Structure 1
Amino acid sequence: MNRRIVLWAVLVAALSNCLIAVIDAPNNAQAATPRCPWVGSSAPVKTRVAQVMGAMALPQKIALLHGQLGSSYAGLTPAIAALCIPAMNFQDGPAGVGDGLTGVTQLPAPVAAAATWDPVAERHYGAVLGAEEAGKGTTVTLAPTVNLVRDPRWGRAFESTGEDPYLAGRTGAALIEGIQSQGELAQVKHLAAYNQETNRNTAADNAVVSTRALQELYLPAFGTAVKSAAVASVMCSYSTVNGTPACQNKLLQNAVLRDEFGFDGFVTSDWFATKSTVASANGGLDIEMPDGAYFGSALSAAVAAGTISMATIDNMVAGILTQMFGFGLFDRAPTGSPAQIVTNDAHVAVARSVAAEGTVLLKNKGNSLPITSAVRSIAVIGDDAADHPQYTGGGSASVRADYEVAPLLGIQRRAPAGTSVLFDPGVSATSAAATAARADVAVVFASKFEAEESDLSSIDLSASLNNLISAVAAANPNTIVVLNTGSAVTMPWIDGVAGVLEAWYPGQENGTAIAQVLFGDVNPSGHLPVTFPRSLADVPAQTLAQWPGVDGNVQYSEGLQVGYRWYDQQGIVPLFPFGYGLSYTKFAYSDLHLSPVNAGGSLTVAATVTNIGSRTGSDVAQLYIGAPAAVGEPPKQLKGYKRVTLSPGASTRVYFPLSLKDLAAWSTAANAFVTAPGSYDVWVGDSSRDLPLHTALTVASGRPGRTVSLTNPGPVDVAVGTGFGQQIVGSDSAGAALTYSASGLPAGVTVSGDGLLSGTALRAGTTTVTVTASDSSGAAGTTTFILTVNPAPAGGGRTGPVTGLAGLCLDVRGDSNVDTTAVEIFPCNGTNAQQWTPHSDGTLRALGKCLDAAAAGTRDGTRVQLYTCNGTGAQQWSVSGSALINVGSGLCLDVPAGLPAPGSQVQIYHCNGTAAQQWTLP
């Protein structure tokens, strides 16, 4: 979706005086009233949904099913005051808060996050995105993009998560977990077979794709988003799939998404992607965006005519309300606004870390990197180094930063004292070569721009850039090339350079991050999420019929042979294979072992990884499986990965869980996934073409002896300090007893051996809970859902503002609960960032985390921050009169210099009885 289209539509609607009437002006979650008993209720979400729907008239239901133009956000469903239904604000995007809003963090492109192969880093990335969207007043974050990179010419490859469905699914799930941990509803996109910009949203973009390819390649990442991350919403795509527009495609939205994957949220159209009223409503679409061209009066008329049933309307509304209740939207006052500054140092640190961690070292001849103190002069070459660096891609994933660090500046700041940094803009290859010849090392920066709404005509850098790199390399054999691209590019100069780094679109911390890698402060550990071919002639889409299509049809005739699957099947050696990435150290793999397959059809693959180099570094151990030839699968497919960090000489054991279901292929005859008996190849290594460990797994029967299934409660909504119970019921196919465990439970909540989740949640927040039930044979099943813990209702506890000097409130900067976020004094505004709860353990909590003396400091001037509660004295506070004394240090919570300056970060300081240390608790 491109914001410019929406702005144009707003203008047209205003000029024609056709703006849809606002259902309700205020964007407020209402306090409980006799007319809204579902607000603040402890009843199950399903009960509350039924209560609201029982009070809704058809026009009110219709109002929830389409967007309204004229909002400050990319999309809006308006509030309905009569029913205490809050508005929902929809906003881009995958790489940070988009659509031109300022005061935000410009994160690296999502492809860089995918290149980390690090779920922890990806969750942090998502948490920053979710926190900043919430701070801007957004309800639904339009991210992540999990469409596969079918071809490197795709204009949105930079905002995707790679070419492999397993990697895309795991990366997408981690991003979703991060986003939704901030109380934001994530919207995974774009369902489905949306893999090019050419002819998009037109009749000429019909993806002709087999059911097998859909099921094995283009749909699994969405299934992972639902099953592993309990994603709240899905965006259907501009594509027509096998003759049916995606947003009215029953197979995609009903049969697969809901029936097969178990999705219980809502489906939103991409902006202006809705093509019909009756077919879309009956085909599984819930919300039309950005207006009601098809789901406004036309939807009401279709209900009156009987072409759409009230049962269908009710199902659409129920999916929306279920997520709104599940995420606590009815029970917490909205916070944030588009004008609010939401970036902060902690968020920028995440952006910088992901940019560095996602950088992939592709070549390092003679250990030319990292740059050492022996290097006395560095030539920095290229327009991308200083005047026009490539920070971000274009379209709805473009993000405006308040500042950006150019590579030249980052290198100048980091270069050791006495090392000269020369610069040439690269306008003249001759001049650049002369500059390079005067330096010990030359670093050339080169980019290729990608953007929504257009595809690339080639995967080559510009001729001038290729000539520039060749000229510099000829002048200086110690030439390093840093690429800022969104996907694969060719490298005709590869044999002449000493090193190559792929840094993607690294966001606002570009220069700082790349300098950390170049000088060895960060050991590169990124691995490619896409294959880099030697030329465009090698890519899977070999014909015009495949790309960009002929006569309105795009033939996905390559079938399952996408990305590395194609290169393996065809015996083509790529320039750099999928999963590839070097380090400044070296790793060895050994001792591959497979456990026996248990009665539940599960086993574990284990291997040892050893750092045999001289530096601490990280590697990504990758598991690939090859099916028996008769199954007709690609030669090998990614089925697991583990990122490990090891000091020199250290070893660790990595474990990959595997089940017979993971080996299944789609059977057209059975119309289902089937695991064939036979011998399966098992490989472990650190790229798809470097797999030193191999063994075979013999499968006698594809049907496990036992299966375990669990009920899913859907999203659960509770309040801080309120006891609750949620029973999860499991069923074992053999009737065996089950034992339950759970991950993601909030503090104060436990799971019993019989599947009862119970307790009293201690702090507010949103978490993804996974419950596992297993029997004595090893058969197991899981279910995943969202659990939202809302702040205690006003008047129902001691939650409220902490006021201090000049009546200013203790405030969490930027409404962010990311660890190390500054706590400041700020004008009181009633937001959640100023709602503090004193706990019996001596902590003072807001946004689900604790008031904390940074780094457990005990000196005057130690800054105070928000941090994950850990039970240390740095987070315990005692009350003495009006003073708050930090137990760990004995110092008082203090406003620096006694100056009531809004935005001033508070500190701890020796207790002195001044007004700067006087506080009023809730």
Structure 2
Amino acid sequence: MKRIGKIISLALIATALTGPSAVAQSADPDAQAAATLAQMTQEEKLSMLQGFVPQTWPAGTFPADLPKGAGYVPGVPRLGIPALAESDASLGVANMGGLMRTNDEATAMPAGLTMASTWNPALIEQVGRAMGAEARAKGFNVLLAGGINLVRDPRGGRAFEYFSEDPLLTGILGGYSVRGVQSNGIVSTVKHYALNANETGRSFADVRMDEPAMRESDLLAFQIAIEIGEPGSVMCAYNKVNTTYACENGFLLNDVLRGDWGYKGWVMSDWGAVHSVSIDKGLDQESGTQPRHTPWFGQRLKDALAAGTVTWADVDRSVSRILRTMYALGVADDSPVAGKPIYFAPHLDLAQRVAEQGTVLLKNENGILPIAAGAKRILVVGGHADVGVPAGAGSSQVWPVGGSPLRLRYDEKEYHFRLYMPSPPVAALKEQFPQAAISFDDGSDPARAAQAARGADVVVVFAEQFRREGRDVPDLSLPDNQDALIESVAAANGRTVVVLETGGPVAMPWIDKVPAVLQAWYPGNRGGEATARILSGAVNPSGHLPVTFPVAAAQLPNPVLPGQNLIDAAGGKDVRTLPKEQQVLPITFPEGSDVGYRWYAQKGLKPLFPFGHGLSYTTFDTSRPKLSGMTATFNVRNTGKRAGADVSQLYLVSQAGQPQQRLIGFQRVELKAGETKQVTVNIDPRLLADWKNGGWHMPAGKYSFAVGKSADRLGPVTEISLPGRTWRDNGASER
């Protein structure tokens, strides 16, 4: 379970990661779980297999000492088994709309795409540590964190929560995030297992994909994350995979997760994702049940036990997995207590550092950025930049430290708001440019904004796009006439900079008319300060794209968004109006394992901005890689006049004579002006192999490698001969 650790430079691991917090953990969690299980009654065992939504409990019946979050699972006090208090997460301790726990603040970390744009595992582990520490202080012992789904569709509603389109980058960053969370003696999940790439129709989507494609892409991302992070729980997804719901999919849960990967934790369902008594198929715990619903792991499970369709051995196995995890992570011996004070300052500094490292400079013609220190008149346009920076919505939404200065309801459900983080870029720019007259136009009238732009030394247009859980965006366009706004302002002032605050890639029909574009994503609690410091040059941008930006949807494997109209092709009816058993939305991904940049390479398509792309205020030069077995070394030199950070990306470009394009290693490198450093990357053989006949197959032959500034800007190629080999995930190997 440790192989993937070799992918990252040993120097990075040795110098950049801090040790885990001091939390009591059992020396033999298996034996301790077995001893506890032997003392439990049948009712106590069953109580651990069903979770509840705290908000739905009658007043006065929810335990007063537990915080209200996403879920609650009763404990067994007489045996020292604490209740499980669960909070949504990924971007911080969630509190949708600030209303689940009235205005309870937490550090709002930048979006998952921002984190991934840092390409910095050590930094993302620190984020996990901070989130876990805040969760523990609030009394939670389970964080529903670790979003590992690949960004297969740039229109995905939850793309902002996830890391990337690449299994290696996603798996490594996700694993280090989980490791950080769990260093606090609490449980982190990885989710949503598996192939939950779309939000529209997710409860009845049926993803059709063959095993090799899954193993080489989405499943590999989860596998890597599990190897690094050893998460206490895996959350299964809403959708079906090859006609079977993910939460009752024996292939995914038993054959792959437990059988091939040797996973020892427990599987919990997503909230409302259970459709049968599926404990024998690998599901251990039904999450988020409500009093008005009939849970599958309540009376129905008891009925199945009485009928003999499932056995008490199934129950014991699932309870043992939960107990073992609680003992292994110290949850049972050192359970959090709510109400501990939180010192937010270092966490806010961390959030700002992530935003600074994760902001991507996409374009910078004629050195327009950084903005000249002598600029006298700066106009800021749009994006509510006078108020704050946007965030995505859904179960990951955090009520930020300092509260939200603007809360916009997007539907009538209780917690459904668009939130802005209390970090206005206008105020932050005034701090960076105290000598300048900085004015703001809200961008609602393109003609008025263009008129104001004519007198400015530089114009910064903030363009935003809202994304949320439960629904994908219909297309790649900026909403609310913002494309026209940018065109008008750029026509009036040739020194126009666009800052994109979006939850994923967007189309840019105006790209040739503006000299500079900065991708800020959803930058979190201190996003305004981070963006302003990059615009001023106080920070040298170093982010690199973790996803490909297409020119238009026509370049995508699925040009039409799956489920966009939710019409049943056979019957011409809205799928949602059909009986439950007939609600099926088949989804296929023509790219298979060639997700994102690999699809573009395969089809010979040129994207708007490629995977891995990112500019700097300095320049770098990288040497040809030297290969020795499964280890690559190369030098990176800062050839510019100021310090900066480069992200070195090692790609496989041919496999046994066949063209390929796969990221097989990376490292972020900090360099002073003129400095050179050597980078070492240890290559996991799975990244050179294909899945065939139930195992990994690496053909003998010549393999070519190159270091790239992005997926389509590769340096000199090195070719070596490697022996063939085949092996299985369960450890069996042959040559």
TM-score, reference length from structure 1: 0.69
2:636 paired with 1:640: no
CA deviations over 1:67-121 (Å, ceiling 9, x no partner): 1343522111112122221101111111111133422111111111011000111
1:390–1:449 contact (8 Å) kept in structure 2 = no
> Which residue identity does 1:405 align to in structure 2?
S
Cross-structure match for 2:361: 361
SS in 1 for 2:384: helix
CA deviations over 1:724-770 (Å, ceiling 9, x no partner): xxxxxxx9999xxxxxxxxxxxxxxxxxxxxxxxxxxxxxxxxxxxx
Cross-structure match for 1:150: 152
Counterpart among 679, 684, 687 of residue 707 in structure 2: 684
2:601 paired with 1:576: no
Please report how far the alpha carbon of residue 628 of structure 1 lies from its aligned counterpart in structure 2 after TM superposition: 3.4
Q: What pairs with 1:263-412 in structure 2 (closer than 5 Å)?
A: 263-277=263-277, 280-291=278-289, 293-337=295-339, 342=342, 344-387=344-387, 389-403=388-402, 404-412=422-430
2:676 paired with 1:674: no
Unaligned stretches of 5+ residues in structure 1: 1-39, 598-602, 711-730, 735-922
C-alpha separation in 1, matches of 2:670 and 2:526: 24
Please report how far the alpha carbon of residue 372 of structure 1 lies from its aligned counterpart in structure 2 after TM superposition: 2.4
Describe the shift of the 1:463–1:732 C-alpha distance in structure 2 as closer, same or farther (beyond 3 A): closer
> Which residue identity does 1:699 align to in structure 2?
L
2:505 paired with 1:488: yes
C-alpha separation in 2, matches of 1:390 and 1:513: 11
Please report how far the alpha carbon of residue 152 of structure 1 lies from its aligned counterpart in structure 2 after TM superposition: 0.8
Counterpart among 33, 48, 68 of residue 32 in structure 2: 48
Q: What pairs with 1:47-86 in structure 2 (closer than 5 Å)?
A: 47-69=31-53, 70=57, 72-86=68-82
Please report how far the alpha carbon of residue 543 of structure 1 lies from its aligned counterpart in structure 2 after TM superposition: 5.1
C-alpha separation in 1, matches of 2:593 and 2:730: 30
Please report how far the alpha carbon of residue 498 of structure 1 lies from its aligned counterpart in structure 2 after TM superposition: 1.5
Please report how far the alpha carbon of residue 43 of structure 1 lies from its aligned counterpart in structure 2 after TM superposition: 6.1
2:473 paired with 1:456: yes
Describe the shift of the 1:475–1:107 C-alpha distance in structure 2 as closer, same or farther (beyond 3 A): same
1:660–1:702 contact (8 Å) kept in structure 2 = no
C-alpha separation in 1, matches of 2:623 and 2:176: 29
Counterpart among 161, 176, 200 of residue 174 in structure 1: 176
2:650 paired with 1:623: yes
SS in 2 for 1:691: strand
2:186–2:331 contact (8 Å) kept in structure 1 = no
CA deviations over 1:448-495 (Å, ceiling 9, x no partner): 110001111110112621111111111111111000011100111111
C-alpha separation in 1, matches of 2:371 and 2:322: 54
Cross-structure match for 2:417: none
CA deviations over 1:122-176 (Å, ceiling 9, x no partner): 1111111111111111111001111011111110000001111111101101111
2:613 paired with 1:611: no
> Which residue identity does 2:688 align to in structure 1?
L
1:206–1:242 contact (8 Å) kept in structure 2 = yes
SS in 2 for 1:176: helix
Query: Quick check: which has more Rg, 1 or 2?
Result: 1
1:104–1:402 contact (8 Å) kept in structure 2 = yes
Describe the shift of the 1:349–1:664 C-alpha distance in structure 2 as closer, same or farther (beyond 3 A): same
SS in 2 for 1:686: strand
> Which residue identity does 2:440 align to in structure 1?
F
2:117 paired with 1:115: yes
Q: Tell which has more relative contact order, 1 or 2 (C-alpha 8 A, sep 6+).
A: 2
2:128–2:178 contact (8 Å) kept in structure 1 = yes
2:284–2:319 contact (8 Å) kept in structure 1 = yes
1:198–1:548 contact (8 Å) kept in structure 2 = no
Q: Percent identity?
A: 39
C-alpha separation in 2, matches of 1:623 and 1:684: 4
> Which residue identity does 1:398 align to in structure 2?
Q
CA deviations over 1:551-581 (Å, ceiling 9, x no partner): 5211223322321111111111001000100
C-alpha separation in 2, matches of 1:103 and 1:343: 12
Cross-structure match for 1:21: none
Cross-structure match for 1:433: 450
Please report how far the alpha carbon of residue 629 of structure 1 lies from its aligned counterpart in structure 2 after TM superposition: 7.2
2:695–2:726 contact (8 Å) kept in structure 1 = no
Please report how far the alpha carbon of residue 438 of structure 1 lies from its aligned counterpart in structure 2 after TM superposition: 1.1
SS in 2 for 1:50: helix
Please report how far the alpha carbon of residue 374 of structure 1 lies from its aligned counterpart in structure 2 after TM superposition: 2.4
C-alpha separation in 1, matches of 2:41 and 2:276: 23
C-alpha separation in 2, matches of 1:213 and 1:342: 44
C-alpha separation in 1, matches of 2:536 and 2:25: 56
2:26–2:328 contact (8 Å) kept in structure 1 = no
1:146–1:222 contact (8 Å) kept in structure 2 = yes
1:371–1:520 contact (8 Å) kept in structure 2 = yes
Please report how far the alpha carbon of residue 52 of structure 1 lies from its aligned counterpart in structure 2 after TM superposition: 0.5
> Which residue identity does 2:298 align to in structure 1?
G
Describe the shift of the 1:548–1:314 C-alpha distance in structure 2 as closer, same or farther (beyond 3 A): farther
Please report how far the alpha carbon of residue 272 of structure 1 lies from its aligned counterpart in structure 2 after TM superposition: 0.5
Please report how far the alpha carbon of residue 391 of structure 1 lies from its aligned counterpart in structure 2 after TM superposition: 2.6
Please report how far the alpha carbon of residue 429 of structure 1 lies from its aligned counterpart in structure 2 after TM superposition: 1.1
2:242 paired with 1:242: yes
C-alpha separation in 2, matches of 1:584 and 1:135: 40
2:656–2:702 contact (8 Å) kept in structure 1 = no
Please report how far the alpha carbon of residue 548 of structure 1 lies from its aligned counterpart in structure 2 after TM superposition: 7.5
> Which residue identity does 2:611 align to in structure 1?
F
Please report how far the alpha carbon of residue 693 of structure 1 lies from its aligned counterpart in structure 2 after TM superposition: 2.5
CA deviations over 1:341-387 (Å, ceiling 9, x no partner): 63611111111111111000000101111112222221111143124
C-alpha separation in 2, matches of 1:62 and 1:679: 56
TM-score, reference length from structure 2: 0.86
2:492 paired with 1:475: yes
2:722 paired with 1:699: yes
Describe the shift of the 1:85–1:121 C-alpha distance in structure 2 as closer, same or farther (beyond 3 A): same
Please report how far the alpha carbon of residue 227 of structure 1 lies from its aligned counterpart in structure 2 after TM superposition: 1.2
Cross-structure match for 1:558: 591
SS in 2 for 1:517: helix
C-alpha separation in 1, matches of 2:559 and 2:358: 30
C-alpha separation in 2, matches of 1:42 and 1:613: 52
C-alpha separation in 2, matches of 1:373 and 1:545: 48
1:528–1:579 contact (8 Å) kept in structure 2 = yes
RMSD of equivalent CA atoms:
2.2
> Which residue identity does 2:532 align to in structure 1?
A
CA deviations over 1:406-439 (Å, ceiling 9, x no partner): 1111111221x32111211112112111221111
Q: What pairs with 1:716-731 in structure 2 (closer than 5 Å)?
A: none
C-alpha separation in 2, matches of 1:130 and 1:513: 23
Counterpart among 518, 532, 553 of residue 536 in structure 1: 553
Describe the shift of the 1:333–1:609 C-alpha distance in structure 2 as closer, same or farther (beyond 3 A): closer
Describe the shift of the 1:347–1:54 C-alpha distance in structure 2 as closer, same or farther (beyond 3 A): same
C-alpha separation in 1, matches of 2:496 and 2:29: 61
C-alpha separation in 1, matches of 2:214 and 2:652: 20
> Which residue identity does 2:487 align to in structure 1?
S
Describe the shift of the 1:92–1:700 C-alpha distance in structure 2 as closer, same or farther (beyond 3 A): same
C-alpha separation in 2, matches of 1:687 and 1:43: 45
Cross-structure match for 2:19: none
C-alpha separation in 1, matches of 2:494 and 2:163: 34
